[in-house]
Structure 1
């Protein structure tokens, strides 16, 4: 979960969707983003598809991917047999996804016009914090079929202390005025679980969803030095740094990984808040 940048006019931490400068910074290098960012657990994808009303009917389940980015999650759902439509506000990300055969419409989800189209599932893969939580939940309810599933999910990951602490120190030196500077090197999982619980509260307030659940998937991935240094510039804290600032951070992290033998294992937790659209009355 990105931390809210200080450049915005003092919105609360729950209002990341107002931090447009950061939200629009990820498309600067869409190819790097797509290559470096991890996918999502196949068990999560399968569970969402199996729990969607279209899974038992003729044709393919229809999935709407909110903030689809370069299409990392969308391609997984397509591979699982779904017909996927992406909605993405950044034209650079949308063009990258289209070049890989995905159908994408450029718009902010809250303002997107469905033109009467309905979906078996609405997903948001590491993107819901850029959506107004109240307007977004209401929009999802409008475009979901009765018993359709809303699934909001994302990764929680903290490198080992031997990597996280040199990163935090170098970031503080390179960008002392950044809102990311001075943050703890590692943050507890409970912090992120609380954020997903707040998402569930906003969904519940619409009174249009039932069966709210929180899912958790634990997994791990090994990173080489080059792989991790390829991913870091795609994260919110680094997309807006100057080249010299970025180089200072990457040099420190690279040296830390070298001291571990050139690789390390990242432990991931993928959290999800899901709910089922209430049936027609």
Structure 2
């Protein structure tokens, strides 16, 4: 899911790409991020590979290479661009070539690609400058695909998270609603902004949205392993993080030790014109 900074942390509610501190906080525990974060639907990977005119793919904000390895397994040749050297180092150890740079400032040195993808990262990129950079490096007919795993927690888990967060950090703007994004509809303004950026940059056909629904069952330990990788928690002091995890774990225990999470992976896509 997109992790949008809280109001006190960002210069504008609709400009998370300006919030570099949170965007670059995920590398504090890169191995946990790679281990615990959900993957992306195989159906989406196949659709991107089928829509692209060839196998050369650029993964923007590739992090530890979760999506890049999925595309690599599907037959693509992948280069990642990642601003956090800690995340990039792990991606390299796991078999992905990575350039360390922000995408907007990255120098492609004449390289071009059949697809530019951004898994869980395009909201950290200037929507117009990023689309213009993608247009420069895509071959005619190439595909730009930015996609996000959106989810909806069971109400009991969401309420526990918000309650514990308010107790640990009473000045936090987190509410039960903010802790439990209501699936892709909550993020429709983000998807619209991405599409508007593509139109403004030019060089693409009309943006489209793709959606792939799926679900995943989490044990208590698996969810608590993932929770510290969320942007609202990556910078908490250890003692406060432990208190949050304890409260959420208690709520999951009350559900029988696990829960099933419905996911919708939403993609904003556009094809590079001549």
The aligned runs of 1:183-222 (5 Å cut-off) are 184-189=178-183, 190-222=185-217
The more displaced of 181-190 and 251-260 is: 181-190
The aligned runs of 1:15-54 (5 Å cut-off) are 15-54=15-54
Superposition deviation, residue 7 in structure 1: 5.1
What is the match of residue 268 of structure 1? Answer: 263
Q: TM-score scaled by structure 2?
A: 0.96
User: Secondary structure of the equivalent of 1:168?
Assistant: helix
Q: Deviations over 1:28-87 (max 9, x none)?
A: 000000000011001101101101111xxxxxx100000000000000000000000000
User: Secondary structure of the equivalent of 1:12?
Assistant: coil
1:166 aligns with 2:160: yes
Change (3 A) 1:158 1:253: same
Superposition deviation, residue 183 in structure 1: 5.1
Structure 1: runs of 5 or more not aligned: 55-60
What is the match of residue 112 of structure 1? Answer: 106
Structure 2: runs of 5 or more not aligned: none
User: Any conservation in 1 of the 2:114–2:139 contact (CA below 8 Å)?
Assistant: yes
1:128 aligns with 2:122: yes
Superposition deviation, residue 202 in structure 1: 1.1
User: Any conservation in 2 of the 1:133–1:199 contact (CA below 8 Å)?
Assistant: yes
User: Secondary structure of the equivalent of 2:62?
Assistant: coil
Quick one: distance in 1 between partners of 2:126 and 2:233? 24
Superposition deviation, residue 132 in structure 1: 1.0
1:67 aligns with 2:67: no
User: Secondary structure of the equivalent of 1:53?
Assistant: coil
What is the match of residue 145 of structure 1? Answer: 139
Quick one: distance in 2 between partners of 1:5 and 1:90? 21
User: Any conservation in 2 of the 1:161–1:185 contact (CA below 8 Å)?
Assistant: no
User: Any conservation in 2 of the 1:164–1:185 contact (CA below 8 Å)?
Assistant: yes
Q: TM-score scaled by structure 1?
A: 0.93
Superposition deviation, residue 236 in structure 1: 0.5
Superposition deviation, residue 194 in structure 1: 2.8
User: Any conservation in 2 of the 1:5–1:22 contact (CA below 8 Å)?
Assistant: no
1:244 aligns with 2:232: no
1:102 aligns with 2:96: yes
Quick one: distance in 2 between partners of 1:223 and 1:264? 6
User: Secondary structure of the equivalent of 1:264?
Assistant: strand
User: Any conservation in 2 of the 1:175–1:181 contact (CA below 8 Å)?
Assistant: no
Quick one: distance in 2 between partners of 1:260 and 1:212? 41
Superposition deviation, residue 245 in structure 1: 1.0
What is the match of residue 87 of structure 2? Answer: 93
What is the match of residue 177 of structure 1? Answer: 171
Quick one: distance in 2 between partners of 1:225 and 1:169? 18
What is the match of residue 58 of structure 1? Answer: none
Quick one: distance in 2 between partners of 1:183 and 1:162? 12
